[in-house]
Amino acid sequence: MAVKAFSDEWASQFKDEVNKSPVYKAAAKGWKWTVGLVVEAEPDKHFPEAKGIVMDLFDGEARAITVGTAADAQKCDFVLTAPYSRWKEVATKQLDATKGMLQGKLKLKGDLPTIVRYTKASQEMTECTTRVAVEWPDEN
Amino acid sequence: MARRKLKFDVESRGLVEYADDEPSAFASMLGGLIEANVRTHPEKQNDFDSLKARVGIFVTDIDEGVTLNFTGGQLVVHNGLEPHRTLTIRTDAETVMSLSNLKIGLFGLPVYYDEVGRGVAAKLIRGKLKIEGLLPNVLTLNAVTRIFSVQ
C-alpha cells in the first residue's frame, strides 16, 4: 500500500528496505556518519513546507530514519539538498543520484572523498527509495 | 577570465583555483575531491607537486566536461574542455566514480584486478571508457589516478 511521500510511514518503509538489502549491507560496511536529506518546499506541487530526513546509518545498517525539519537534516555529517520535485525524480528513477550530484541538481555538503568511496552504497540506498510505493502530493 | 580561489582553501598554500567565475557543479566536485585528497594524504602531495599536465574529463551521460590544468603544485579547474590537453577521458558518470575508487597497489600502480579495477578495464576494452593520448602518457595517467583515488 502506498504511503505519503516523506511521511513517518515512508521513513519506516524506507528503513526496512535499506535493512533488507544485502547489497547495501556489503557496500556500506565501515560507514559511520549521519546523512540528512533536505526536501525543499514547492507549494505549487502541494508540498508547502520543507522537510528533513535524518538517517542514522552505521556499518551497513540503517539504525533509524526519521522525518523532521530541514534544520534537523542540516545538522548531519552529510547533507543532500534538493527541491521536492527533484527528490521525486530520484525516487521514481527519472534522475540518477550520482548524475544529479555531478550536475548540481542535488547539492551535497560533506567530505567528498568519503561520499565517493561509498558511491555503491549511496546508489543502492537510492534503489531502496524506489522500492517504496509512494503517494505523491502533486498527483492527487 | 577571473580566477576564484576555493572558499575552504584556508591553508597557507592555495592548491586549487577555478578559472571560471561560476564553476560548474562537476568542476567544484572534482576540484574539491582532489584538494581534500592531497591535503589528507601526504603520499599524494609528491605527485601533485610534480604533475604538469592538462587533463580533460568529459562525462558522456550528462554532457559536461572539465579541464584539470596541473601546473606542478597547483591545479586550475576549467569548466568544459580546453584546448591542448595531454589526456582526455570520456566516459559515463558511474565510471568517473569508479576511476576515483581504483585502489593503488605496488609501485604506485592502479589496481585493475579487483572488482572495481576489472570493471574499469572492461569498460576500456568495450569502448565505454575512452582515453585520448593514453599511449604516450601512461605515467601521467597513473599519477592523475593516484591523485584522484579516494582509496
pLDDT (tens digit per residue) in B81-108: 999 999 999 999 999 999 999 999 988 8
User: Domain limits of chain A?
Assistant: 3-127
Neighbouring C-alpha atoms within 13 Å toward the C-beta of B58:
16
H/E run at residue A26:
helix A22-27
pLDDT at A79 over 90: yes
Using an 8 Å Cβ cutoff, are A49 and A83 in contact? Answer: no
Asked whether residue B9 carries a pLDDT value surpassing 50, the answer given is no
Q: Where are the domains of chain B?
A: 4-92+130-148
Mean pLDDT in residue range A111-130:
93
Average pLDDT score over residue span A70-74: 98
pLDDT of residue A84: 97
A119 has a chain B CB within 8 A of its CB:
yes
Answer for the pair A57, A35: CB distance below 8 angstroms, yes or no.
yes
Q: What is the pLDDT of residues A88-99, one digit of tens each?
A: 999 999 999 999
On chain A, the residues whose CB falls within 8 A of the CB of B101 are 116-117, 119
What is the reported pLDDT for B108?
A: 86
What pLDDT, on the 0 to 100 scale, is given for residue B106?
Answer: 87
Rounded CA-CA distance B87/B149 in Å is 17
CATH code for the part of the protein at A3-127: 3.30.1050.10
Look at chain A and count its residues: 140
User: What's at A61, amino acid-wise?
Assistant: E
Judged by a CB distance cut-off of 8 A, whether residue A64 touches chain B is no
In terms of Cβ atoms closer than 10 Å to its own Cβ (0-12, 13-18, 19+), residue A48 is exposed
| pLDDT interval class at B6 (50, 70, 90) | very low
Average pLDDT of span A112-132: 93
In the predicted model, what is the mean pLDDT of residues B111-133?
94
pLDDT value, residue B130: 96
Mean pLDDT of B22-43: 93
CA distance B2 to chain A (A): 22
| Tens-place pLDDT, residues A101-118 | 999 999 999 999 999 999
Question: Is residue B30 within 8 Å of residue B68, measured between CB atoms?
Answer: yes
Three cell numbers written together for B47: 605527485
Q: What are the pLDDT digits (tens) for A27-71?
A: 999 999 999 999 999 999 999 999 999 999 999 999 999 999 999
Residue A66 Cα distances to A53, A74, A102, B11, B42, angstroms: 6, 13, 27, 37, 39
A10 with A3: CB under 8 angstroms?
yes
What pLDDT, on a 0 to 100 scale, did the predictor assign at position B7?
A: 43
pLDDT at B12: 52
Position B42 scores a pLDDT of 87
A14 φψ region: left (φ > 0), alpha (ψ -120 to 50), beta (else): alpha
**Average pLDDT estimate for A116-139:** 94
Cell numbers at B136, concatenated: 604516450
Rounded average pLDDT over B16-30: 96
Q: Is the CB of A99 less than 8 angstroms away from the CB of B61?
A: yes
Percent of chain B predicted with pLDDT > 70: 91
Fold classified for B4-92+130-148? Nonspecific Lipid-transfer Protein; Chain A (3.30.1050)
Percent of chain B at pLDDT exceeding 90 = 82
Which residues have CB under 8 Å from B84's CB, separation 6+?
A: B54
Residues of chain B whose beta carbon is less than 8 angstroms from a beta carbon of chain A are 24-26, 28-29, 32-33, 36-37, 40, 59, 61-62, 64, 93-94, 96-98, 100-101, 150-151
Rounded to 5°, the CA angle B15-B3-B27 comes to 65
Question: Are the beta carbons of B96 and B88 closer than 8 angstroms?
Answer: no
* pLDDT at residue B10, as a whole number: 37
Residue B22 C-alpha cell reads as 561560476
Q: Does residue B1 surpass a pLDDT of 60?
A: no
Q: Which comes out higher in pLDDT, residue A110 or B10?
A: A110
With beta carbons under 8 A apart, name residues in chain A contacting B151: 117
**Backbone dihedral region for residue B4 (phi beyond 0: left; psi -120 to 50: alpha; all else: beta):** beta
